[in-house]
A and B are shown apart, each in its own frame.
Chain A
Amino acid sequence: GEDVEQSLFLSVREGDSSVINCTYTDSSSTYLYWYKQEPGAGLQLLTYIFSNMDMKQDQRLTVLLNKKDKHLSLRIADTQTGDSAIYFCAESNGSSNTGKLIFGQGTTLQVKP
């Protein structure tokens, strides 16, 4: 079945760039998403990319999509301590974009001052 895989933990120094990686299996997914979860809070949509795009940039965030390898990454430039959170990659279930998403297990980003 469909699956989304992420590494569980990443530690960076404040000011460095962070790169969080994700692989997915459903090649028919039309949208891929990055959500952020801060401690004790619900998930917050950070950004998303349509499957016919290779890259999307939004301020400090850059999303890269390699559809051939089914690999998605999120780069955070100039990482701040406030970026410490769990980051979830998610794919839309199949070609329809219904909000029925398949999430990875989340990558915990630790930013050291």
Chain B
Amino acid sequence: ETGVTQTPRHLVMGMTNKKSLKCEQHLGHNAMYWYKQSAKKPLELMFVYSLEERVENNSVPSRFSPECPNSSHLFLHLHTLQPEDSALYLCASSRDRVETQYFGPGTRLLVL
């Protein structure tokens, strides 16, 4: 148990659906991250929030929309996804941007 939880653990959605992934940490960390992990590819950093301020990876399509309402919660809102968006989405948190990151278990997403 790393202290970072993610829900749901598995999600199947159609290309016209809207869904949200949730990440929660009660470690008192100030930075939270969304990563995408596709098969045979390195982890891709999607978004970073530090002290609730977003640092965005500009290559992330607008169909992914993050939200950080407070330092303990991070959401990833999904809409009109494509099949190639099917992947494992991992959330992580750290005390600050240069400290060790603690990962959640991930949400395995399948877009049909």
Same complex: no
Name B residues whose Cβ lies closer than 8 Å to a Cβ of A: none
